[in-house]
Structure 1
Amino acid sequence: MDRNRTVAGLDVHKDSIYLCIMGHDEVIIFEKKYGVLTPDLRQMCNDMVERGVTEAAMESTAVYWVPVWNELCESMELKLVNPYFIKQLPGRKSDVKDAQWIAECLLKNLIKGSFVPEPIVQDMRKLNRRIMDLNEDMTYNCNKLDAAMQRSGFRLSNYVTTIKSKSYQKVLHAIIDGTTDPDELVKMVHGRTVNKHGRDTIRAAVTGLFSRIDITIFRQTKEVIDTIERQIEVCQKELTTLCEQYFPEQYRRLQTIPGVKERAATAIIAETGVDMKMFATAACLVGWCGLKPRNDVSNGRYKSRKVTHGNKYLRQILIEIAWVASRTRNCFFFNFSYIQTTVKKKSKMKIQVAIARKILVAVWHMLTKEQDFIDIYLKRLEEQKKMEEQMKRLGSTVIR
């Protein structure tokens, strides 16, 4: 242990922060309680710098640690620690003792910092997670709109894929504008839908009792959905601009993976960044994301094979990519999904998790080695075609 080190432990709460500065031989140099307002944080930073603090550690308490981190990150080396790994010693019950324990663990190098990306990636994370929150709001309001329509006897959602379909939207706009005649509404439904279910069925589905209040509710809910769509578009445009400005090569490279386009590539960069030094191996990144199956075995019996906790935002986008990749023909993931689900009769949902894990491993290697995605399945097909061509040439030579 370096005898010249001066470290600090911070116990962060919603309305207060407890600071403990500790020097070599575990000597407490300074202890104090601070508020959480910006002037208080700046005063705390000044006090730490004056006492020669070079390293500080804090627990990842909700979002309360973020402004503390932003104030201190330029003045000293920081570590964000998972509270799970900070075990309290017997008798250490007060908050000041908590800060002292964090400082003591840091002084003895007993704790490892969590992954905190650089500021530009943090801004991208804000946009990415805002998009995901807006998508949840979109789903909620779409369901509310369809429920309101169903209460009026409107059942077209039973015969179309989604309420975002063109047929549903055309009929909805017509009803909002005051057109409620079933014969007029059925003309707006796509011909394939009418032919599949029958004109009489579709006519009955769009027949309803729409009061003036119902139409007002339809209009207001539709306006909320339109607002959410505009906000998603603005956030995604800003996120794409940041990727193209700061990480253009990695942004292009990620889109070589089957199933990964603009939205998925920007989400991956926003959640992981492009520097994989924090993750020593691909397995570390998989575990951090929460796609690694838990090792819960007792007496030869598996108690659970569920995936572990991790970055839910990255895991969600990877599962979506996996579904697209498993449906993309002539690629490794499509072939893998077919063999596992159709030939070996395994659970389709579990296979999607496996594909998501493989995609994340590929992302780690691509960003670490600065290489584009190489599809093994296509590579084998190309090698097989070359061998067949060589055999044909050899056969024609023998005949001659």
Structure 2
Amino acid sequence: MEQALAQRNSGVSLKPGKSRAALTITHPNAAGIDIGSASHFVAVPPDRDDEPVREFASFTTDLNAMADWLKACGIDTVAMESTGVYWIPVFELLESRGFTVMLINARHVKNVSGRKSDVLDCQWIQQLMTYGLLRGAFRPAEQVCVLRSLWRQRGMLLRSQSRHVQHMQKALTQMNVQLANVISDVVGETGQKILRAILAGERDGDVLAEMKNARIRASVDEIAKSLQGNWRAEHLFALRQAVDAFDFIGKQLAECDHEIEQQLQRLQTREGEPARGKQRGRARNAPKFDLRTQLFRMCGVDLTRIDGLDVTTALAVISETGGDMSRFPSAAHFASWLGLCPGTRITGGKVMSGKTKRCANHAAQALRMAAAALRTSQSALGAYFRRMCSRMDKPKAVTATAHKLARLIYTMLTKGEEYTDQGQDYYEERYRERVLRQLSQRAQKLGMKLVATEQPQPA
């Protein structure tokens, strides 16, 4: 086994008489599980049982039987592939039974030569885990996992609610009610008043137009003109159902926000209020409670002081990672886990590609959206993003800025320091000094000297 593994990893044939580098057994009591939807294949060391590979159904009774069998075989470490969401019940049950469970990235064990079967897969996972050739994926603490599930559920509800807003707009368009052309948001205060009045039976455009908010730029006559439609019964029925579905999901969102608030209170580690920072308006889809204070009491720092990060973005990151960054040795490791660091495909001493790896990370997606929002920011981060856009295409600039945001978050959470924005002018001056220093060093290598000249004053 050791010889076969050495050949697989080195790619060099071992000749008789040559010294062999023996692999060290790091997990002698390891088991491997190939996860499936209906059943799971489990492999233990061959000397532990007459039948070292067994198949267990995915029912809870069978999972408990699996745990009992692993205990009887003297297993203390279990490795499994992250297949869909089928691994979650197995992971949670084995962890509750006292096993050290490691979730393995399926891409790390898929490139195996020869035939592929569930039995061979679980045996291969068990062998790799025995020799310490696999690493477990990051999984936050149990209470943070609860918060993560609640926040992801909230995101799913928001996506469902947005589809019903599209259904409202479709019903209005079919009736030739062009309200969306004069009001930017049909689910805002003015739009909702008008829609609910229409469903209540009001058809007079002038009466409906008087419901507009003072901040609406369109005049009363323009709104009244847009509200002249055919009012067909089937389209009114579709509009009513879309509004009812919108209201129902709004009620579910309120219940989800309550659960998130309760979970954040359980995760609080300190008391106090965050220092007063920049005055920012509340995000439209943000929870109704004081999320900024709850996050401060959980993390000990105010992440919203970083330009581009609002409370929803901060919670999106914290719900995926938690406030404890001890699992990541450095900011570079944290950025690599997020999938925001440059790639390192090097062969023969030549860099083949620096492309960022594809990674469906929820925290990285939130940071990319925050980075894109810095386009018009007059902060140092905004100046950095615009400089990146001048050097590369926008998607790469967004990733580079999101990488910078990730490093700032890591530094704040590990060192407990508050972020202070130095401003756009400070960043531009630092950048200018850096460019002049590089030019001076290059001129010195060429035997020249850089001489500054006075800039002409504008008339």
- TM interval, shorter chain, is 0.7 to 0.9
- TM-align CA RMSD: 3.3
Task: Give 1:86 deviation, angstroms.
Answer: 0.1
Which residue identity lines up with residue 90 of structure 2 in the other structure? Answer: V
Q: Kindly indicate whether residue 168 of structure 2 is the aligned counterpart of residue 120 of structure 1.
A: no
Q: Which of residues 404, 408, 415 in structure 2 aligns to 1:369?
A: 415
Q: 1:200 to 1:321 in 2, by over 3 A?
A: same
Q: Distance in 2 between matches of 1:294 and 1:146?
A: 43
Which deviates more from structure 2 when the two are superposed, residues 287-296 or residues 227-236?
A: 287-296
Q: Kindly indicate whether residue 367 of structure 2 is the aligned counterpart of residue 318 of structure 1.
A: yes
The CA deviation string for residues 151-202 of structure 1, in whole angstroms up to 9 with x for no partner, is 100111122222223222221111111111111122223455455xx55443
Q: Distance in 1 between matches of 2:385 and 2:142?
A: 38
Asked if 1 retains the 8 angstrom alpha-carbon contact of 2:308 and 2:374, the reply is: yes
The CA deviation string for residues 51-99 of structure 1, in whole angstroms up to 9 with x for no partner, is 1112110000000111111111142212111111103543343311211
Q: Distance in 1 between matches of 2:175 and 2:130?
A: 67
- Equivalences for residues 317-396 of structure 1 within 5 A: 317-329=366-378, 331-340=379-388, 344=390, 347=393, 350-377=396-423
Which residue identity lines up with residue 211 of structure 1 in the other structure? Answer: R
Q: 1:9 to 1:187 in 2, by over 3 A?
A: same
Q: Kindly indicate whether residue 328 of structure 2 is the aligned counterpart of residue 282 of structure 1.
A: no
Q: Distance in 1 between matches of 2:327 and 2:239?
A: 49
Which residue identity lines up with residue 86 of structure 2 in the other structure? Answer: Y
Q: Distance in 2 between matches of 1:60 and 1:44?
A: 18
Instruction: Please name the residue that 1:237 is paired with.
Output: 258
Asked if 2 retains the 8 angstrom alpha-carbon contact of 1:20 and 1:28, the reply is: no
Which residue identity lines up with residue 76 of structure 2 in the other structure? Answer: T
The CA deviation string for residues 21-53 of structure 1, in whole angstroms up to 9 with x for no partner, is 0168x9987221111111111111111111111
Task: Give 1:317 deviation, angstroms.
Answer: 2.0
Q: Distance in 2 between matches of 1:325 and 1:89?
A: 45
Asked if 1 retains the 8 angstrom alpha-carbon contact of 2:380 and 2:424, the reply is: yes
Asked if 2 retains the 8 angstrom alpha-carbon contact of 1:332 and 1:378, the reply is: yes
Instruction: Please name the residue that 1:219 is paired with.
Output: 240
Asked if 2 retains the 8 angstrom alpha-carbon contact of 1:236 and 1:263, the reply is: no
The CA deviation string for residues 191-218 of structure 1, in whole angstroms up to 9 with x for no partner, is 55455xx554432211111133322221
Q: Kindly indicate whether residue 70 of structure 2 is the aligned counterpart of residue 48 of structure 1.
A: yes
List runs of 5+ in structure 1 lacking aligned partners.
385-400
Asked if 2 retains the 8 angstrom alpha-carbon contact of 1:79 and 1:113, the reply is: yes
Q: 1:219 to 1:138 in 2, by over 3 A?
A: same
Which deviates more from structure 2 when the two are superposed, residues 75-84 or residues 318-327?
A: 318-327
Asked if 2 retains the 8 angstrom alpha-carbon contact of 1:5 and 1:23, the reply is: no
Q: Distance in 2 between matches of 1:231 and 1:303?
A: 49
Q: Secondary structure at the match of 2:413?
A: helix
Q: Distance in 2 between matches of 1:298 and 1:4?
A: 32
Which residue identity lines up with residue 355 of structure 1 in the other structure? Answer: T
Q: 1:308 to 1:221 in 2, by over 3 A?
A: same
Q: Secondary structure at the match of 1:34?
A: strand
Asked if 2 retains the 8 angstrom alpha-carbon contact of 1:292 and 1:357, the reply is: yes
Q: Distance in 2 between matches of 1:42 and 1:349?
A: 47
Q: Distance in 1 between matches of 2:391 and 2:30?
A: 56
Q: Distance in 2 between matches of 1:212 and 1:89?
A: 62
Task: Give 1:380 deviation, angstroms.
Answer: 5.1
| Identity %, equivalent residues | 26
Q: 1:199 to 1:340 in 2, by over 3 A?
A: farther
Q: Which of residues 68, 84, 94 in structure 1 aligns to 2:117?
A: 94
Asked if 1 retains the 8 angstrom alpha-carbon contact of 2:380 and 2:426, the reply is: no
Instruction: Please name the residue that 2:82 is paired with.
Output: 60
Q: Which of residues 228, 231, 236 in structure 2 aligns to 1:207?
A: 228
Q: Distance in 2 between matches of 1:72 and 1:253?
A: 36
Q: Kindly indicate whether residue 134 of structure 2 is the aligned counterpart of residue 111 of structure 1.
A: yes
Q: Distance in 1 between matches of 2:26 and 2:204?
A: 85
Q: Distance in 2 between matches of 1:306 and 1:2?
A: 35
Q: Which has the higher helix share?
A: 1
Q: Distance in 1 between matches of 2:152 and 2:188?
A: 26
Which deviates more from structure 2 when the two are superposed, residues 239-248 or residues 36-45?
A: 239-248
Q: Secondary structure at the match of 1:279?
A: coil
Q: 1:347 to 1:185 in 2, by over 3 A?
A: farther
Asked if 2 retains the 8 angstrom alpha-carbon contact of 1:251 and 1:266, the reply is: no
Q: Distance in 1 between matches of 2:38 and 2:87?
A: 11
The CA deviation string for residues 315-344 of structure 1, in whole angstroms up to 9 with x for no partner, is 232233334455554x32233345555xx4
